[in-house]
């Protein structure tokens, strides 16, 4: 018995502090990653509760008592400029599409176009543009056009801009997802795709023709 008491004394004497530390840590750690239905205890306010104005809320800061403000008249937010040029409309007049891409075609433009095409268009049109993407395999009634049709090879860039912006028949509009400049980059890439499949030896620079198989 006295042995037991001595052992207990030893434990409390030497191990009390580390043991308390381990127990307290376990207590706090147990809270992490646990699934529970009740609202978690917030020792400090979560960031989702901050002082801010939500939509339609009143404010005493402004004379009219509204927190939501109108943009200052006659100003345009940075990056939000949309004039009537063909860059934003895809047209040179209300009834005429612009023939050629108004964005300069560089390697960067094509790279951007490829990235955006693979994100936004490939799910339906497939990465090679033939129209055999993943979506039409699930919805077989949804007939996706091949971008290699002669009609689409010869159509104007503004026409394709119009398709992306407003959609056409069963194709939805991508106006809100894709910035105008990105739409033009996609069109440049679609042209590259079209050219890559309909190419002849004449399209290959003379210095590289010897390497063709
Ligand atoms: C959700 C599926 C889907 C996505 C995503 C999609 N398309 Fe389409 N697209 C279609 C369908 C379906 C058609 C055929 C429309 C019809 O004729 O009813 C079509 C037709 C077209 C046509 C031919 C229009 C014509 O004149 O007949 C073009 C050009 C085109 N798409 C370009 C694009 C580009 C560029 C993107 C990416 C920004 C894109 N599409 C994204 C489904 C899609």
Is residue 160 within 6 Å of ligand 1 at its C-beta?
Answer: yes
**pLDDT one-digit tens code per residue, 2-50:** 777 777 777 677 777 777 888 887 777 666 656 778 877 778 877 777 8
67 alpha-carbon distance from chain centroid? 30
Report CA(185)–ligand 1 centroid distance (Å): 16
Q: Does 204 fall in a domain?
A: no
Report CA(114)–ligand 1 centroid distance (Å): 16
Query: In total, how many domains does the chain have?
Result: 1
- Residue located nearest, by CA, to atom 3 of ligand 1: 124
CATH number at residue 181: 1.10.760.10
Is residue 168 within 6 Å of ligand 1 at its C-beta?
Answer: yes
Please, what sign has the CA dihedral across residues 102, 107, 112, 116? positive
- Residue located nearest, by CA, to atom 34 of ligand 1: 121
48 alpha-carbon distance from chain centroid? 24
Partners of 171 in beta bridges: 168
Please compute, for residue 123, the number of CA atoms within 13 A of its CA located in the half-sphere on the CB side: 8
Q: Does 145 fall in a domain?
A: yes
Say whether 31 sits in a helix, a strand or coil. coil
Instruction: Identify the domain containing residue 171 by its residue range.
Output: 86-93+104-197
**pLDDT one-digit tens code per residue, 121-176:** 999 999 999 999 999 999 988 999 999 999 999 999 999 999 999 999 999 999 99
């Amino acid at each position: 018995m006295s042995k037991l008491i001595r052992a207990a004394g030893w434990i409390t004497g030497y191990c009390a502090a580390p043991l308390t530390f381990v127990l307290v840590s376990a207590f706090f750690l147990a809270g992490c990653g646990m699934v529970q239905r009740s609202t978690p205890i917030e020792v400090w306010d979560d960031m989702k509760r901050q002082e801010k104005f939500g939509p339609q809320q009143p404010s005493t800061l402004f004379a009219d008592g509204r927190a939501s403000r109108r943009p200052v008249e006659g100003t345009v937010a940075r990056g939000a400029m949309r004039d009537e040029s063909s860059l934003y409309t895809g047209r040179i007049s209300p009834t005429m599409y612009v023939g050629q891409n108004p964005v300069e075609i560089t390697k960067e433009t094509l790279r951007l176009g490829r990235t955006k095409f693979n994100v936004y268009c490939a799910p339906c049109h497939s990465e090679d543009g033939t129209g055999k993407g993943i979506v039409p395999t699930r919805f077989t009634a949804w007939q996706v056009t091949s971008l290699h049709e002669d009609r689409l090879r010869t159509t104007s860039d503004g026409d394709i801009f119009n398709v992306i912006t407003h959609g056409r028949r069963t194709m939805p509009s991508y106006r809100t997802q894709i910035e105008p400049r990105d739409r033009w980059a996609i069109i440049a890439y679609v042209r590259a795709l079209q050219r890559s499949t309909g190419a002849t030896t004449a399209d290959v620079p003379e210095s590289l023709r010897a390497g063709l198989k």
